[in-house]
Amino acid sequence: MRLRISSAAATAAACAIATLAAPAPGAMASPASPASPAAPPSAVGGQTVYASDGSPCTLGFNVRRSDGYYFLTAGSCARQDQRVYADSAKTTALGTVVARTPLGVGLVRYVEPQAERPGGVDTHPGSQHIKGAGHVPIGQQICRSSPVSGLRCGKLKAVDLSVMLPDGTMGTIAQTDACGLPGDAPGAPYFAGGTALGVEFQGSGACEGGENSYYQQIDEILVQLGGGEVY
């Protein structure tokens, strides 16, 4: 037995379905949820950053100031007014160098400087929270961190040493026996626990014993760059 539906019945059924599917008068369709904005680019201490010529450097510490967020680095990445990048292909700009110390530690103002950045130091692996800048006694253990050497620790041997660069620039530095490795990029952070101590000025040796490394002391850096809080 075949069931036959008249054209009139079919039309009525279609109208009923359309009525059920249609929104009620005055109802509004729910808008699609907007995509979350991408976080601004950032990095933390002990990670690699790149100069505008592609040379690698190390980020020292992030810096918080009343007008925004910055970071410290050195070497080729500390040239005045140049861009500093998160990658060697220079596809992601981190910021622009706005000041540097006589010994060559640069202050980089992040792009979107009002956006808060994470702080601390990458210890390869792991991380170290940084509470602020300070000093430690001679003989205390201190550490440095870089992408090449990883985390290397030693003792603080001297502070407030006078140094003269070939161009006649004078400054004061600290000496440690926390060694680095060939290929380390300038700018490595030095710290003791959560206390930031300085940014690498110069290293020597290949971690075979008897080597020294040197950093510009963080309080002098901040004074020369106009203040701020490392974190």
CATH number where 156 lies: 2.40.10.10
Distances (CA, A) of 152 to 149, 177, 178: 7, 9, 6
Does residue 54 form part of some domain? no
Does residue 136 form part of some domain? yes
Six token digits for residue 104: 């060559």
Does residue 58 form part of some domain? no
Six token digits for residue 82: 């140049």
pLDDT band at 33 (very low <50, low <70, confident <90, very high): low
Task: Identify the pLDDT of residue 170.
Answer: 85
72 or 165, greater pLDDT: 72
Does residue 84 form part of some domain? no
pTM, two decimals, is 0.83
Does residue 199 form part of some domain? yes
**Chain centre distance of CA 228:** 16
114 or 169, greater pLDDT: 114
pLDDT band at 209 (very low <50, low <70, confident <90, very high): confident
Task: Identify the pLDDT of residue 201.
Answer: 77
Phi-psi region of 197 (alpha: psi -120 to 50; beta: other; left: phi over 0): alpha
Distances (CA, A) of 74 to 130, 132, 200: 19, 20, 8
Six token digits for residue 226: 């106009």
Does residue 108 form part of some domain? no
Task: Identify the pLDDT of residue 6.
Answer: 43
Quote the number of domains for the chain: 1
Q: Does the structure show a pLDDT above 60 at 21?
A: no
Does residue 93 form part of some domain? no
Average pLDDT, the chain: 87
Does residue 198 form part of some domain? yes
| CA–CA distance, 100 with 147 (Å, rounded to integer) | 23
Domain hosting 172: range is 123-218
Residue pair 158/220 in contact (Cβ under 8 Å)? The answer is no
